[in-house]
Chains A and B, each alone.
Chain A
Amino acid sequence: MRGKAVIAGVGHTAFGKLPGRTTDSLNVEASRKAIQDAGIDKDAVDAVFVKYPTSQHRSMYGQTVAEALGLQPRIGGVWDQGGATNISMISFAAMAIEHGQCEIALVTIADNPKTGTRQAYERGWGDDAVHGWFGVAAGYAMIMRRHMEEFGTTHEQFGAIARASRRHGAENPHAQLRLPLTEQMYDESRLVVDPLRRDDICLVSDGGAAVVVMSAERARDLGVPAPVPILGFGQGQTSWEVAQRPVLTSTAAEISAKTAFAMAGMTPKDIDVAQLYDCFTIAVMMTLEDYGFARKGEGGRFAEDGNVELGGGLPINTSGGLLSETGMPGMQLVIEGVRQVRGTSVNQVPDAQTAIVSNQGGIMHTHSTLILGR
């Protein structure tokens, strides 16, 4: 399937605090922009894949969005893998197109936890709340501690990841947080759930983002101006909760990446730029290792050596990622991957031919990988 499907168009809303905006409206705005970017007629869309809004779960939400878009799709609905959903839906769309189930798919996501509720991220973990075990951040902190203890990974090395995203985001006019992070600022950043500091943790954002997927052939026929070929995709899942997970320091991101690299006929050395899901810096650290950019336990040194900054061997999160551009769970990373391959990023990696994007959800439970290139 390598190169048979393309991302034909991308679109997103403003990011940050968007009071008064519903997720329905944010989905429609992002979709309208993606359809315009693809240069196609709205009514040509015959599939609508929607990520449910995490902060406000609604039954049959795929139908709500399709109705708001005035579409009667052949395939439509909501998929739930947390942050891994975006790339997974893109890959399901590509497979459905390949098998004649639909022709032009819209994949869209929106949420408004900043003006709405963050409760979904702060609830207690069932009966374990009696121990004070609350919140998504603490789950990531539990994994981060094990990584630090097992491999000697340091705060400074996590800081190098945060500094790269924040440096890149500062150049992005759409970014919610345009404040470069110095080593000193990171060191002085308050501990939230030790070992996690404030600057290891992503933003909370309202916003929407969407992409249009179709076959490369259809994109040629329709004269889509800047289609970006999908070279590979994959998924993987680590189903255990953090407490029951036999190994804390590696995840099924490894399987997800392996599947995507095999489909693309590529290895990590072939990647020019990476957009790695940075809900917390530990997620990036483990993705660098699980994807094979660094050996297990050596992600810290890889980051510290400047590889992940613009000008380094593997620039990451060139639009700022979840730490700086928007805390939205993941579609913005796909959009930045598209911009890099098109050559239109504000932090363009010179002559980038290939981009990899990681998405993940839960506490590193679900993983999906996308390889784009020309």
Chain B
Amino acid sequence: MAAEVPLPEITPLTEPYWSGLEAGELRFQRCGGCRNAWLPAREECPRCLSDDASWEASAGRARLISWVVYHSAVHPSFADRLPYNVAVVELDEGARLITSINASEDELSIEMPLTLSIEQESGVSIPRFSPS
């Protein structure tokens, strides 16, 4: 049997993130105290330590911070996708996240503008990005 992609462990803390993706939006947390924006989910704002955070939907625009291309599979579930990329992007709203880019490697360069594209991975909606 082929290895299965490890799926997120959805907790009360992260549930709004994953249900947001199911509903077609990429949500991030915004601090009610200092307006800081971040991902992944946490209980307190790491800037001002306020516990008054709320979820907002991103407009879906981002820029590419960096990326890697796996040429060997660390996890067997990704063996038949080699080579595949994983990237760090920064949303226009300020939060950064791990994702992957729908593009070949020679199309990529740092700071390039990207647009959100929510896709299915083993039955879970995940955020990916495409060149704008």
Q: What is the interface of chain A, defined by CB distance below 8 A to chain B?
A: 122, 124-135, 137-138, 141-143, 145-146, 149-150, 190-196, 242-244, 248
Interface flag for B98 (CB, 8 Å): yes
**CB atoms of A145 and B66 under 8 A apart:** yes
A190 to B71, CA, bound (A): 9
Interface residues on B, range: 35 or more
Measured CB to CB, the closest approach of chain B to A133, in angstroms, equals: 5
Residue in chain A with minimal CB distance to B17: A127
A190 to chain B: which residues have CB within 8 Å? Answer: 71-72
Most chain A CB within a 10 A radius of its CB, from B8, B38, B75: B75
Proximity bits, B2-42, A CB within 8 Å = 1, else 0: 00011111000010000000000000000000000011100
Q: Which residues of B contact A143 (CB under 8 A)?
A: 66
Whether B66 lies near A149 (C-beta < 8 A) is yes
The residues in B between 78 and 95 inclusive whose CB is less than 8 angstroms from any CB of A are 78, 81, 83-84, 86, 88
A142-B68, A243-B88 given; name 20 further pairs at CB < 8 Å: A126-B40, A128-B98, A129-B6, A129-B75, A130-B6, A130-B7, A131-B99, A132-B81, A138-B68, A138-B86, A142-B66, A145-B68, A149-B66, A149-B109, A149-B110, A192-B72, A193-B68, A194-B70, A243-B96, A248-B88
B8 touches A127 (CB 8 A): yes
Q: Which of A135, A137, A150 contacts B110 (CB 8 A)?
A: A150
A192 to B72, CA, bound (A): 6
8 tightest A-B contacts by CB?
A: A134-B74, A127-B8, A194-B69, A146-B66, A128-B98, A141-B68, A129-B6, A135-B74
Bound complex: CA A143 to CA B100 (Å): 16
CA gap between A131 and B78 in the complex, in Å: 9
A-B contact list, 15 entries, CB within 8 Å? A124-B6, A126-B40, A127-B8, A127-B9, A128-B98, A130-B122, A131-B99, A134-B75, A135-B74, A138-B86, A142-B67, A191-B71, A194-B83, A242-B88, A243-B96
Count of A-B contacts with CB under 8 A?
Answer: 93
1/0 contact trace for B107-132 toward A, CB 8 Å? 00110000000000110101000000
Known contacts A124-B6, A150-B110, A242-B88; is A131 also within 8 Å of B67 by CB? no
For A122, give its contact among B8, B74, B122 (CB under 8 Å): B74
Closest residue on chain B to residue A141 by CB atoms? B68
A154 to B: closest C-beta gap in Å: 16
Partner of A127, one of B40, B81, B100: B40
In Å, the complex CA distance between A255 and B85 comes to 33
Instruction: Indicate whether A193 sits within 8 Å of B99 (C-beta atoms), given known contacts A127-B8, A132-B75.
Output: no
Q: Which residues of B contact A248 (CB under 8 A)?
A: 65-66, 88
Tell me which residues across on chain A come within 8 A of B7, comparing CB atoms: 130
**Taking A129-B6, A129-B75, A138-B86 as contacts, is the C-beta distance between A243 and B98 under 8 angstroms?**
yes
Q: List the B side residues contacting A193 at CB < 8 Å.
A: 68-72
The verdict on A194 contacting B68 (CB below 8 Å), with A127-B40, A132-B86 known, is yes
- Looking at chain A's contact residues, the main secondary structure is helix
Q: Which of B65, B86, B109, B124 contacts A133 (CB 8 A)?
A: B86
- Chain B residue with Cβ nearest A125: B98
Q: Are B126 and A130 in contact (CB under 8 A)?
A: yes
B105 part of interface (Cβ distance < 8 Å): yes
Instruction: Give min CB distance, A1 to chain B, whole Å.
Output: 33
Assembled-state Cα–Cα distance A143/B110 (Å): 12
Partner of B126, one of A131, A145, A196, A244: A131
Docked CA distance A196–B81 (Å): 18
Please indicate the chain A residues that have their CB under 8 angstroms from the CB of B105 in the complex: 194
Contacts of A242 in B (CB 8 A): 88
Q: A143 vs B67: C-alpha distance in the bound complex, in angstroms? A: 9
Contact B14 A127 (CB under 8 A): yes
The answer to whether A132 touches B70 (Cβ under 8 A) is yes
Cα separation A190 to B72 with both chains bound (whole Å): 10
Given contacts A150-B110, A243-B96, A243-B98, contact A132 B84 (CB under 8 A): yes
Bound state CA distance, A141 and B67, in angstroms? 8
Q: Which residues of B contact A134 (CB under 8 A)?
A: 74-75, 78
Chain A residue nearest to B82 in the complex (CB): A132
B46–chain A nearest beta-carbon distance, Å: 9
